[in-house]
Structure 1
Amino acid sequence: MKKVLIIGHGIPEPRSTGAGVYMAQLIDLFLQGNYELHFCSTAKAPADDLLIVKNIPYSQIQLNSDSFNAFIKALDPQIVVFDRFMTEEQYSWRVREACPDALRILDTEDLHFLRDHRRTSNDPKPPATLSDLAKRELAAIFRSDLSLILSKPELEVLTSIYQVPESVLLHLPFLEKNVPQRTELTAYEDRKDFCFVGTAKHKPNVAAVKQLAKLWPLISKEVPGAKMHVYGSYFTEELKQLHKPSAGFLVHGFVEEVQTKLQQHRVLLAPLQFGAGLKRKLFDAWLSGCAVVTTPIGIEGIGEAHKLPFMVADDLETDFVNLAVTNYTQEYQWDQNRQEGLALISEHFSWEKRAPSVLETLKSYALNKEEFSPQNPVGQMLWHHSLQSSKYLSKWIEAKNKT
């Protein structure tokens, strides 16, 4: 049985977050492929049930220590997955030295530098001038044998703008099992109110909640009696201060079963102004029977904005408010919205359709790793020169700790 080691950025996040869902999916994918799976990170042993329930061995590893080299050499995995580029920077050179034949896979989650650029510039286009963050993340992608890319637009950005060879990229979006029919979900008349879901650890979510607080008086004026429910984790005091029951704007914070809440509400509002990757909240909303109103950034990688005018608003001040009201008050549009959402998931994000081909690709790369290296000369150059400062700083810290 082939071994896979996932080096986590930390303990896997709760499955209510996009990153948590994606990691759980990655674990399920390897298990379906009959791989022997191991997980490690610098964090203490997890209390989270994701690893425990699936009976996945966990090891706590150290930064700047050759104990990791001994650990991975003894494990001898055929595939090593780095959970985001920061982990690749820390451990890829050690993996390469201790297990040179292992396939090194970078799990990008989304392009951090693209999200950060959109946040600071208010420009959705990829940056022409690379920030230090962009240089680090792109270098990790070039160095890796294969990188998992969440959305097709990001894959196109990497290949067309930054000249990353397609041969070292694998499009792996969220994949859904057992997509329900809309007729199986709670009916229009049995639902009420608007909702938003998102962790405050994610800056696009924080900005979206603040935007909703500004838009809510305009929306509630058109839909008297309706309420806005905001769910999520790690809410700051600033976000909690937006809680105004008298105005129908309710900031709940963390809830255990967010899917149950979504099944009670009629429309999810996601006025996302920047971001990257795929927006998990849209998937969760449609799968729970909600309609969705969002922005071009929100729908990116899921559907084409110009084909979905009944759910995608270009203008937050006017279009977004109008779509929120019509999707809430007009049952036909509400049903069309969620029908289209479930169709997009069934067509493009089906586990049954995509998982087998992804597993075949991973198997092929692991068996024929040497065939792809010549197609990535930049990666070869980076391995010749890059990471030397990180490598030798790590060795210096390691030596210092020993003395």
Structure 2
Amino acid sequence: MSQPATKVLVIGYVWPEPRSSAASGHVMQILETFLAQGWDITFSSPAGPGEHKVDLSALGIREVPIELNNSSFDTFIRDLAPDIVLFDQFMMEEQFGWRVEKHCPDALRVLETSDLQSLRHARHQRQKDRLKINDDQDDFSDLFAPALREEFELMADTDLAKREIAALYRCDLNLMISEVEIDLLVSQFGLPRQLLHWCPLMIESPTAAFRPFEERAHFLSIGNFRHAPNWDAVLWMKTTIWPLIRQQLPQAQLHIYGAYTPPKATALHNAAQGFHIMNWAEDALQVMSAARVCLAPLRFGAGIKGKLVDAMLCGTPSVTTPIGAEGMHGDLPWPGAVTQTASDFANNAVQLYTDEVRWQSSQLAGTVLLNERYPISIHGPALIKKLINYQLNLKQLRSSNFIGNMLRHHSHKSTQYMAQWIEAKNRNIAPDSDT
């Protein structure tokens, strides 16, 4: 008699939009890995559907909207009785973790982090502070080379870090997209390594021939405009980097694509300067394949960058910063250039655009990098193996995570009462203090 399929509930911060963000793309890769196992998947979110939401039901995944601070979720999860609950971003663990523990205590609780948000926010604040005391728009090397201890000290006193790290402790396993973030959490925050699993973007290497150098034109930048690092990169290109490129290539064109284009971005469009705001790309890989060089001048951020993996998938060399390349290439050469100043960024962009030999060498480096670090054929089975092993040893794993147990005891009790108070307030009744 065959065993029933493993039931997985994914609680998403938003409904997946893989053509709008790398975070959603990573969630879809995980879902596809589960589907390949024949697992029974339900996806829920308290968010409304976005403009570019993927049709999960077409893939055989049930879609169930849920509400914050509403006991209807209790009935829903009791009836579903999942074996694994995957929280997409730590805020979903904060909201629903206590309900999952109460009604499905034996379910494996997994957090998909996308990136370490407290690290990204702390770096953003460091950049703001830097700009207040130094208006130099060229050299940002002081932002790009902090030791892990400096990163910890930047984060440790923030409320966001305390909330996020607590959620990591409360879960049985956390999927980390960046090895740098794993090192930071283990060496500085003291998280047990067994709570963390490296799960980068998972891809199938391209098999078709790339479009050749002579058939490509223009520079390209791409990224969701709602994501603060992407918007900052656009501003740095507009004010500093792009004028330097145009000094050397007066006819150069930059095409900037991104979902949810705000008016402030549209206002930057200037055809005379070759600076084109193109809005959302229906097919990101198609426009990436037509470009000659991808630009990603990120001054802050965390995780790893989906746009740069897409560039490699399309055979498009890229120029980025140490923030953009962080956690992405290990000891392998970058498929393009990694720079710390606007002038070096512009010079390398121009050289890649005009030097076919260097361009082809960078393209090859991208293919090597994809094959070495991102194959789904390696990371998919490793994820499934880890989840199954943790299910089988759940009691032992939880007993060895005293800090997580302690945080669940205190945090979940307070979160539970707050949620019940909000629900009661919404219904204009007093909460039952005995529940």
TM-score relative to the length of structure 1: 0.95
Q: 1:80 aligns with which of 82, 85, 91?
A: 85
The equivalent of 1:202 in structure 2 is 227
Distance 1:361 1:305, change over 3 A: closer
What are the equivalent positions in structure 2 for 1:2-401 lying under 5 Å apart? 2-44=6-48, 48-122=53-127, 123=143, 124=146, 125-128=150-153, 129-180=156-207, 184-214=209-239, 215-304=241-330, 307-308=333-334, 311-316=337-342, 318-401=343-426
1:375 positional shift: 2.8
Give the conservation status (yes or no) of the 8 Å contact 1:81–1:107: yes
Backbone CA RMSD of aligned residues: 1.8
Give the conservation status (yes or no) of the 8 Å contact 1:148–1:170: yes
- The runs of 4+ residues in structure 1 deviating greater than 6 Å are none
1:288 positional shift: 1.2
5+ residue gaps, structure 2: 128-142, 430-435
Distance in 2, matches of 1:386 and 1:263, equals 48
1:64 positional shift: 1.4
Report the secondary structure of 1:341's partner residue: helix
Report the secondary structure of 1:230's partner residue: strand
Distance in 2, matches of 1:48 and 1:397, equals 29
Give the conservation status (yes or no) of the 8 Å contact 1:117–1:127: no
1:224 positional shift: 3.0
Q: Which letter does structure 2 place at the counterpart of 1:399?
A: A
**Which stretch shows the higher mean deviation, 218-227 or 318-327?**
218-227
Distance 1:44 1:112, change over 3 A: closer
Distance in 2, matches of 1:349 and 1:13, equals 21
1:308 positional shift: 4.0
Give the conservation status (yes or no) of the 8 Å contact 2:18–2:54: no
Distance in 1, matches of 2:210 and 2:333, equals 25
Distance in 2, matches of 1:54 and 1:383, equals 34
Report the secondary structure of 1:386's partner residue: helix
Distance in 2, matches of 1:297 and 1:272, equals 6
For residues 265-301 of structure 1, the C-alpha deviation after alignment (integer angstroms, 9 at most, x for no partner) is 1000111000000011101111112110001000011
Distance in 1, matches of 2:405 and 2:73, equals 24
Give the conservation status (yes or no) of the 8 Å contact 1:84–1:108: yes
1:309 positional shift: 9.4
TM-score relative to the length of structure 2: 0.88
Aligned length: 400
State the identity %.
39
Report the secondary structure of 1:62's partner residue: coil
5+ residue gaps, structure 1: none
For residues 13-69 of structure 1, the C-alpha deviation after alignment (integer angstroms, 9 at most, x for no partner) is 243410121111111011112210011112357883430220211112122122111
